[in-house]
A and B are shown apart, each in its own frame.
Chain A
Amino acid sequence: MSSHNQDTTGAQTTQEARMGEGVDNRFNSKLREAFGSSPFILTKFDSFMNWVRGSSMFMLQFGIACCSIEMMHTYAVKHDLDRFGSGVPRASPRQADVIIVPGTIVSKFAPRMKRVYDQMPEPKFVVSMGSCTCSGGPFQEGYNVIKGAEEVIPCDIHVPGCPPRPEALIYGIVKLQERIANGETAPVTVKPYELEQFGDLEEDELVQHLADQIDEEDLVMRYNWAESP
């Protein structure tokens, strides 16, 4: 803190001079110390934005199954996810940056989850929580169960466990924050049913073949047990 910077001659640093007499050092912070006397930082806008994004994330209040109970514990008193700058659950996907997918996804819910994901503004990030969102988990053999969230939406972080402890979820979220701060994001996965969005692209045989399978009246999600990993 400021006392370390003081030299023996009694000359004041700019910072101390600006703070004036009689003011204690409670406004000082590690950041201020790091910056020294200059109140300016020079950085790239991109890096700055990434740092901002990673440091303040709005989570979507989204519960599916067992994992959502542990997720609620992560938000609540003991574990308090807010300490890591990501504890503001938003009820509307349009206000959220991060979606934690906490639980088994079944065929009936998958299109709904995809729609919720689509409603989130860019840039958006996905933490898939629990074994079910990695692979279908203990329910993998079920006739109705999607074998992992990756089948539906692109995931940035997988947190395995059944369910993962709150500590594990926090670790996953902090890792996501690190990735965001470093400017890394998940590759965008385009699913066949999204191809209609690229209607202005040049005609392509494959695109055409896939687009033909889509009933335009009826946005359809195919679920195939046999070809699942």
Chain B
Amino acid sequence: MSLEAPEPSTHTDVGVTETGLDYDVLESLLGELVIDRETHHNAEAFVVRPDRVADALSVLREEAGFDHCSCVTAQQYEDRYESIYHLKKYDDPTQEVGVVVPTSIHEPKSQSGSGVYRTADWHEREAYDLVGIEYDDHPDLRRILLPETWQGHPLSQNYDQERQQVVPLTEHANPLEEDHRGGTDTMFINIGPHHPATHGVLHLKTTLNGEQVADVESDIGYLHRCEEQICQQGTYRHQIMPYPDRWDYISAGLLNEWAYARAAEDLADIDVPEYAQIIRTMSAELCRIASHLLALGTFAIDVYGDFSAIFMYAFRDREVVQNILEDLTGQRMMFNYFRLGGVAWDLPEPREKFFEKTRDFLDELPTRLEEYHNLVSGNEVLQLRCVDTGILEPEVAKQYGCTGPVARGSGVDYDLRRDDPYGYYDRLDWDVVTEDGCDNYSRVLVRLREVEESAKIIDQCVNLLEEWPEDDRTIQSNVPRTLKPDPDTEIYRAVEGAKGELGIYIRSDGTDTPARFKIRSPCFSNLQALPEMAEGEYVPDLVAALGSLDIVLGEVDR
């Protein structure tokens, strides 16, 4: 798979005004492609005929500079199917626009957007798999999460969950068979779904040409836990919040909870007290440290070999973070600590002890990080394995919708904490870390340096919390007991999770449960870029590239 070099767009400021985007200018740019307009909570959306999708998307991409297709949401209404393309700009993610594509209920066929945005490929496959919309001109429209033999589309409206399903075991090709794909003598090899280097249950169908990777295809869905269906069954106020913890389960729970909290709070117009925002910011950054440390430890296992020293070092520090978080939230991993409108409870008493514990950790961290740099980033063996392997060019990363440390390791300066501020981030002093190497080494280095930045944020939050006046410690605003957002309101909101942009789309139908709950997972998009990084490289570099992507299958499959 090669990617034609996209020409840098020169008209990135169409419709940009002082106060935000002027959607009328964009509408006139699209001209007769627009048949209607909708207002979503986060942005305006243009309704487009199902056979003009690619045209509309390429106009917005080439002429208006929307180079980030963040998410594709599919859903079924009583009378129609609908796909929504959520577009953003990497330079300024607050500039958003939606492209809504309604299709008929009887023949849900719509043009594919994967020619314009590579990332739409997987998103559309998922939409086909779960909702049942078919995309014309899609290069490879197959099921992506469910087994090939699955009957029905589980998120469509008259899906029968009682129906018996049959799952075969013959899907894996025989690796011993002769394989002459591409004219040469290649070998097919399955990596996973149970394999120590896949970080969970990922299946890589790899074709090798000698020692080199000729083709790699990720087969996901081995941990598809129906998160979206379960969130659609839960009530806004309390029943959804436990599940975000389990999307990205590498102790990044609070970052995920924040994604749901942010979307639902904006949808239902709930304020969060400043004091609660500081607690949220502090605890979320603790989660980020824990998550990055695990990424480092497991990456070291992949690249160095066995259960080794670095893994133990990283887990030793994770234990400290988890202890702090347990003091705060009562759980080691599945925190369930955020509430709509605030957090569940205040800092643990005695507060001094909690601050002391957190400060001890922060004081110790620079020495620990130095040790990591000596062990990992300064190590010649690791540098040999990681420098200049798994190259991901910035333009390619943008095509695939990569975010988080993966994009920042390719020099894409994109961090929602700064670019689309929420919480208390915009009032604190910290920097976005980027590296220009585009290789495995840069991605590891970005994570290590982000730990430092997170520590800076936590330190400032602890200072603020310590001096916060005692009579102003409101942890939750008033939220109605039964939350029913206005009918037919839609919102797409994202936060910077541990792995990148974690977005939530919610459509309310006026009841106390969401009518559609869609999760935009950063790992899903990041993983899609794996072939770009691994093809043509050696097998061990494939493993290193996968490790440096830092995927977590709970979030890829949801």
Which residues of chain B are near A133, meaning CB under 8 Å? Answer: none
Is A180 an interface residue when CB atoms closer than 8 A count as contact? no
Closest to B203 in A: A112
Complex alpha-carbon distance, A139 and B221, angstroms: 15
Is A64 an interface residue when CB atoms closer than 8 A count as contact? yes
Which residues of chain B are near A63, meaning CB under 8 Å? Answer: 199-201
Closest to B155 in A: A143
**Are A104 and B194 closer than 8 Å at their CB atoms?**
no
Is B37 an interface residue when CB atoms closer than 8 A count as contact? no
**Are B194 and A144 closer than 8 Å at their CB atoms?**
no
**Are A111 and B250 closer than 8 Å at their CB atoms?**
no
**Are B221 and A108 closer than 8 Å at their CB atoms?**
yes
**Are A77 and B223 closer than 8 Å at their CB atoms?**
no
**Are B200 and A65 closer than 8 Å at their CB atoms?**
yes
Is A226 an interface residue when CB atoms closer than 8 A count as contact? yes
Is A160 an interface residue when CB atoms closer than 8 A count as contact? no
**Are B224 and A108 closer than 8 Å at their CB atoms?**
yes
**Are B223 and A163 closer than 8 Å at their CB atoms?**
no
**Are B221 and A78 closer than 8 Å at their CB atoms?**
no
**Are A107 and B225 closer than 8 Å at their CB atoms?**
no
Closest to B159 in A: A143
**Are B225 and A106 closer than 8 Å at their CB atoms?**
yes
Closest to A73 in B: B315
Complex alpha-carbon distance, A109 and B167, angstroms: 9
Which residues of chain A are near B333, meaning CB under 8 Å? Answer: 66, 69-70, 163
Complex alpha-carbon distance, A77 and B315, angstroms: 7
Complex alpha-carbon distance, A63 and B159, angstroms: 31
Complex alpha-carbon distance, A163 and B334, angstroms: 8
- The B184-220 residues at the A interface (CB cut-off 8 A) are 193-194, 196, 199-201
**Are B225 and A142 closer than 8 Å at their CB atoms?**
yes
- Which of A30-38, A197-205, A215-223 is the interface stretch? A215-223
Interface size of B by Cβ–Cβ distance < 8 Å? 51
Is A116 an interface residue when CB atoms closer than 8 A count as contact? yes
Q: How many A-B residue pairs have CB under 8 A?
A: 148
Map CB proximity to B onto A96-125 as digits: 1 under 8 Å, 0 otherwise: 000000011011111111011000000000
Complex alpha-carbon distance, A221 and B170, angstroms: 11
Among A61, A93, A219, A223, point to the contact of B165 (Cβ < 8 A).
A223
**Are A103 and B161 closer than 8 Å at their CB atoms?**
no
Q: Tell whether A226 pairs with B165 under 8 Å between CB atoms, given A138-B243, A142-B230, A145-B226.
A: no
Return A66 CB to nearest CB of chain B, in Å: 4
Is B468 an interface residue when CB atoms closer than 8 A count as contact? no
Is B147 an interface residue when CB atoms closer than 8 A count as contact? yes
Q: Tell whether A223 pairs with B226 under 8 Å between CB atoms, given A89-B307, A108-B147.
A: no
**Are A104 and B225 closer than 8 Å at their CB atoms?**
yes
Complex alpha-carbon distance, A47 and B137, angstroms: 67
- The B147-174 residues at the A interface (CB cut-off 8 A) are 147, 150, 154, 159, 161-170
Q: Tell whether A65 pairs with B249 under 8 Å between CB atoms, given A76-B312, A106-B224, A223-B166.
A: yes
- 7 A-B pairs with the lowest CB-CB distances in the bound complex, closest first: A142-B226, A66-B249, A76-B315, A111-B169, A109-B222, A219-B169, A143-B154
A-B CB contact pairs (8 Å), 7 listed: A69-B249, A69-B294, A76-B311, A112-B194, A112-B222, A139-B225, A144-B146
Which residues of B line the A interface, CB within 8 A?
Answer: 146-147, 150, 154, 159, 161-170, 193-194, 196, 199-201, 221-227, 229-230, 233, 242-243, 246, 249-251, 294, 307, 311-312, 315-316, 318-319, 322, 332-334, 553-554
**Besides the known contacts A108-B146, A108-B224, A222-B166, 6 further A-B residue pairs in the complex with CB atoms under 8 A apart:** A61-B196, A64-B201, A69-B333, A107-B146, A144-B224, A145-B225
